[in-house]
A and B are shown apart, each in its own frame.
Chain A
Amino acid sequence: MDLYQELILEHSKRPHHAGLREPFDAEVHHINPTCGDEVTLRVDVTGTGPDAVVTDISYEAQGCSISVASSSVLAEEVIGHPVSEALQTFEAMRAMLTSRGTVTGDETVIGDGVAFAGVSKYPARVKCALLGWTAFTDALARAGVDISSTSSPSPQGASS
């Protein structure tokens, strides 16, 4: 199955930067109501405005391999990077994941995120892959970071 790239399985088994750490500016808890996947995510930001940098992302993720691996890749790609760059990475991830298989993703922008290209062919799994990323942008907003450069998130589907 092209969905379960080795990279995804490795990240899901040994998620990078996992665990909740101090210090942090905001903590959020996001769930995927269809399957019960959950992530608690903290973000620590240094500096303000254009100089703001994501100093740390720490998290506890419980869920399917796609959602756990996605949080791991998020932390890997974003920690230590300027907020502006992190938001661009988020946008590129979302564009790829919601493309229904038409966007393969640019490795120079999303790094290991390209391993998730196959997810976009399975609409039911896109929310799994975006769980950590939407938690991240929510945490940034709660930390007082202006995230208005990102397009509004797609409406969450309901679950039964």
Chain B
Amino acid sequence: MGDVLPFTDGELTAIRGDFPILTRTVRDGRPLVYLDSGATSHKPTPVLDAERAFYEQHNAAVHRGAHQLAEEATDDFEAARATVASFIGAPAHEVVFTKNATEALNLVAYAFSNAAPTDEPKDERFVLGPGDEILVTEMEHHANLVPWQELARRTGATLRWVPVDADGALDLSGLDDLLTERTKVFAFTHVSNVLGTVNPVTELAERAHAVGALVVVDACQSVPHLAVDVATLGADFIAFSGHKMYGPMGVGVLWGRAELLEVMPPFLTGGSMIELVTMERSTYAPAPQKFEAGVPNAAQAVGLAAAVRWIEAIGIERIHAHEASLVDRLQRSLAERPWVRVVGPAVGTPRGGAVAFVVDGVHAHDVGQVLDDAGVAVRVGHHCAWPLHRALAAAATTRASFAVHNTPADVDALLAALDRVPAIFGLDTHREAS
């Protein structure tokens, strides 16, 4: 990555100035300290403006009609596709707009089960049945677990998973037994939404490809926070959401290799995604249109493209370095508190933008309530990764997750509020968290 200049105070002030919501107060007039961008990020003004401008000036159903607005709306939508694709190093026709990352992952899972063995021509890579295996990991968000459980249920394939070790990394010691000729698909997250663990995508993809498995990567927690280049990543598909990267809600992205998108059966069917329709049957448009049934979310795609331009103007490397410094500050400060246990990689190990922790003897819901009372918004619970929490022997964790607008003062506000927890719940702060 090389040397990356930290933000000056003036730059950070300007960045924060793009987020109108950061000027509001919560809970009886306290300034908002937003540390929940891993759940959803706030939206900078240029994104809001772009979405509004689309509706005010070009609004039309894209890929339909021949009037001028329809042409402009279609151009905007396709330009948005090109912008988003370029951001991840892909050609435009490899990007499919979905409702969200969950839909993108379901799209791939359903493509497998929609590949009926009777289809001609068929692509064996997408045909699953008894004896075939789907491999996931224990650290997956439910969005990259439940669709595969369902696919296994529908097809009779077997679901297997890579366990997580005590440091919150994937335990790859048994991978040779888990990843075999039987494995048709290996789905795993790039960056854990709880642990912050950064998985070795390229290495895992190589091993999966060596046995002929397709590789699906949940990139929700990586694309907004670090440079992702699909040309070198090694995955066959990645999924990410717009709303976690300063874009609007209601738009997600599936990137897939062109040759796979071409042979993959569709998920949702209907208008827009067809080539020819008769009463008996239909043929389908080429990808990506084949996967975008119905009037697409053009305004949201345009908003997401604006988010990408906004990120690019700042620089993803600088965003990553800034967030990493905040993660480090928080992790080091929490390590000074023996009554707090941080889950995931140790201080100094590369991490995503999330830090989750346990306060010994106090439930995460109660910790979060004390933070909320101070205006500090974090997430509490299992963060849609219930099996991971079982593996960590934690019913729930408190998670702070960062965005580019966060400051060292935000970290300090969290710590100050956290330090009220022991007194409120009668905690012995000298005892080590278990």
A: residues with CB less than 8 A from B are 1, 3-4, 9, 13, 34-38, 62-66, 122, 125, 128, 159-160
Contact = CB atoms under 8 A, between A and B. Distances in A.
Nearest to B386: A36
Most buried by B among A34, A36, A128, A159: A36
Given A65-B425, A160-B142, A36 B381 contact: yes
Interface stretch (B258-266, B279-287, B359-367): B359-367
B395 A63 contact: yes
B75 interface: no
Contact of B365 (A9, A38, A64): A64
If over half of A's interface residues share one DSSP class (helix, strand or loop), that class is named, otherwise mixed; here it is: loop
Nearest to A1: B373
Nearest to A34: B381
Contact of A35 (B362, B364, B425): B364
Interface string B379-400: 0111010100100000110000
22 contacts: A1-B373, A4-B369, A35-B364, A35-B365, A35-B395, A35-B396, A36-B382, A36-B386, A36-B389, A36-B396, A37-B365, A37-B395, A38-B395, A63-B363, A63-B365, A64-B364, A65-B362, A66-B365, A122-B369, A125-B369, A160-B142, A160-B384
Contact of B366 (A34, A36, A62, A66): A66
B395 A36 contact: yes
Contacts of B396: 35-36
Contacts, number: 55
Nearest to A160: B384
B344 to A, nearest CB: 18
A66 B363 CA distance: 10
A65 B421 CA distance: 13
Contacts of A35: 363-365, 380-382, 395-396
Nearest to A2: B373
A66 B369 CA distance: 11
A3 B424 CA distance: 11
Given A34-B381, A35-B380, A36-B395, A9 B425 contact: yes
Contacts of A65: 362-363, 366, 425
B426 interface: yes
